[in-house]
Amino acid sequence: MEQTKRIAIIAHNNKKSDILEWARFNKFFLVQHELYATGTTGKLLEEELGSVVHKLQSGPLGGDQQIGAKISMQEIDMLIFFWDPLEQQPHDPDVKALLRIAVVWNIPIACNRASADFLISSPLMHDRYQPDLPNYQEYLERNYKEQAAQVNKEQLSRLETVS
């Protein structure tokens, strides 16, 4: 991670006022970084901060998945996601997938104001930081070998049926 972080910010509807209050309080720090957000959250943050926010689709329309894709491509350094644990969301599977992919790629995640405060006030926010990126090469190779073996087994089975 460079000194300027690429921060994804998401908030469910019932958490929009919380994320805006948090952003207002941390405006000085946030505007020093590259911000990404889903739909309405991005528009509201841009107005609140007076700074450019890269806006993606609304969460239920694929924005959570877009953020997840950016994380998997190492284009997002951290995720601030004020999600509402008391409201079921129509896109709950997308939310779970987003949180999972953030863990898979070892990026910092804040899901409430306290954890967001700790993240943004960390000394690591102001310097370069090299997180341990997982090496999934062994997994990919193992997965490939297992699938290749399965395909060969199915082909043999078809040949035996034809013979």
Cα-based torsion angle of the residue sequence 25, 118, 9, 26 in order, rounded to the nearest 10 degrees: 20
Domain 6-126, CATH: 3.40.50.1380
- Active-site residues, by number, are 64
Q: Decide: pTM greater than 0.95.
A: no
What's the pLDDT at 89? Answer: 72
What's the pLDDT at 1? Answer: 60
What's the pLDDT at 143? Answer: 65
Instruction: Give every residue of the chain whose pLDDT is below 70, as ranges.
Output: 1, 90, 143-145, 162-163
What's the pLDDT at 36? Answer: 98
Residue 58, number of CB atoms within 10 A of its CB: 15
H or E element at residue 39: helix 39-49
pLDDT tens, residue by residue, 27-74:
999 999 999 999 999 999 999 999 999 999 998 899 999 999 999 999
What's the pLDDT at 107? Answer: 94
Domain ranges of the chain: 6-126, 133-163
What's the pLDDT at 136? Answer: 76
Question: Alpha-carbon distance 74 to 148, whole Å?
Answer: 29
What's the pLDDT at 106? Answer: 93
